Every structure is written in C-alpha cells, then in structure tokens.
Amino acid sequence: MSSNDRLIRKLQADTVLGDYEIETLARLPIRPADLAGRQDIVKEGDRPSKCCLVVEGVAIRYKLTAHGDRQILAVHLPGDVPDLQSLLLRTLDHTLATLSPCRVGFIDHADLLDAITRAPMLGRALWRETLIDAAIFREWMTGLGRRDAPERLAHFFCEIGTRLQAVGLAADNGYPLHITQQELADAMGLTTVHINRTLRELREAGLVTLSDGRVSIPDWSGLRARASFDPTYLHLRSR
C-alpha cells in the first residue's frame, strides 16, 4: 500500500472524506524512508519543518523526566501522523521514535499547509485526527491515575487491537506487536519487573499472551471485561 493510500485509509477510519479531499491527499508529496527500530526520529526541542507519517511498523512518543525516567505517551500505528501537531506548534515538547523498524513518509509542512488551504475540509479531518490523539491521551491519563496494573495493561492491549482492526491490520485472535517489557513499563508508568508479573497474571487468566512479538488474545470478551474497555474514546466511524 502506498504512503498516500495508507493515510487516506486511516483518515477514512475516523471521518467521511469527499472526493476532492481524497484527490488532494493522493497528490500530496510524501517522501518515503525506511528506519531501523528503537531510533529517535525527531527530538524534544527540535523545530521540524515536516511531519512524519507511519506507513509500516510502530512508532512511539515519549518524554524524559528530570530524573531520567521515561514516560511513553503514545503508540502510533500505520496511518498515524504522530507529530501532526508540529504543523502549528513550533517546538516539539517530546520525542518521536520508532519502536519496530518502520517505513515512514515525510510530508513538508509547506505542502500540508498548502493542501489544507486548498481543501479546508481536509484541514478539519486532520484537526480531528489531533483531537482523537488527545482523546487517547485522556484515556491513558485515566489509566495512569486510576487503574491498577492488570487493568491498565489489559486496556492497552484492547486499545492497540481495536486501532489495528480499524486499519485492517489485526486478526481476530491477536496482532503483531514487537514491544519489550521495558517499553511496556515506560508506557504504563510501571517497572519492568511488575510488568513481567502482571503479564503472567493475565496470561494465566487466559486473557492475553505476549511472546515473540505477537499479542495473542484467546478471550477478547474476557480481556475487554478485565479492562472495562469502552472504545468510544477512539471516535471511530463505525463499530
């Protein structure tokens, strides 16, 4: 699938696009690049002049505290534009990095601004993407503040599965996800050791298994129940 098609497909998971907007997107210049895993793309403090579309693979955004602890803020799947906000916010307040090896596409701010000037409804669709991004932050905040480790982790696996399904990249019984327990810990606000034990707990309960870069979900409804997962916050078009 081309970079442009990946973006079109993702936007269509969230919003109804008109022919003109689709056409504009199809013509948008996107420069492809292949990146290794665990590698920073743009760093906190940078002032990028382009956005980065995830075409294949998984990207993350994170912050470091003054004490050197890391908090992973978001996980980005194919079709996402993790740093879309850099279009209007000059300096980056966090770092964007690859998790797995990624194929990405760079889109110049100038081209994107030009596109949304010519197709204002496309601008709204992109604005909407950033609003969904924020909705996901809110859900994560709720988890970080008020959910215990098993629920938080179960919720995470539900969310990623649901988002992958929305772009056609998840099977019914699981999905690929090359994430280490250290990274899971940094995303959940926990430690590796505790992630390990919590993962075991969920596995022994027959809800999820993470191994060899694959999340297996033998019991979706059990997992959803364990997480009290309600996908409304993802603001997907169907479901």
Partner DNA sequence: CGCGCTATTGAGAGAGCTCAATGTGCGTGG
Partner DNA sequence: CCACGCACATTGAGCTCTCTCAATAGCGCG
Rg (CA), the chain: 18
CB 185 within 8 A of CB 191: yes
Scanning 16-24, 79-87, 91-99, 190-198 for contacts with DNA by CB under 7 A, the matching segment is 190-198
Is the Cβ of residue 55 or residue 75 nearer to its own copies in the bound state?
A: 75
Find the binder of DNA among 91, 142, 173, 182 (CB under 7 A).
Answer: 182
Cα separations in angstroms, 188 against 62, 139, 143, 155, 191: 12, 12, 8, 10, 8
d(CA 46, CA 13) in angstroms, rounded, equals 30
From DNA, its own copies, none, interface partner of 85 (C-beta below 5 to 8 A by class)? its own copies
CB 72 within 8 A of CB 62: yes
CB 35 within 8 A of CB 82: no
d(CA 169, CA 176) in angstroms, rounded, equals 9
From its own copies, DNA, none, interface partner of 237 (C-beta below 5 to 8 A by class)? none
Find the binder of its own copies among 89, 110, 171, 193 (CB under 8 A).
Answer: 89
Is the Cβ of residue 20 or residue 137 nearer to its own copies in the bound state?
A: 137
Torsion, CA 225, CA 139, CA 180, CA 197, rounded to 10: -50
Find the binder of DNA among 191, 233, 235, 236 (CB under 7 A).
Answer: 191
d(CA 185, CA 156) in angstroms, rounded, equals 12
Q: Which of residues 143-172 bind DNA (CB under 7 A)?
A: 148-150
Single-letter code of the amino acid located at 236: L
Q: Which of residues 143-182 bind its own copies (CB under 8 A)?
A: 144-147
Distance of alpha carbon 229 from the chain centroid:
17
CB of 191 to DNA, least distance (A): 4
From its own copies, DNA, none, interface partner of 180 (C-beta below 5 to 8 A by class)? DNA
For residue 33, give the 3-state DSSP assignment: strand
> Does the protein bind DNA through residue 196 (CB under 7 A)?
yes
Can you give the binding site for its own copies, defined by CB under 8 A? 45, 61, 63, 65-67, 69-71, 73, 85, 88-91, 93-94, 117, 120, 123-124, 127-128, 130-135, 137-142, 144-147, 188-189, 228, 232-233, 235
Can you give the binding site for DNA, defined by CB under 7 A? 38, 148-150, 180-182, 189-194, 196-200, 211
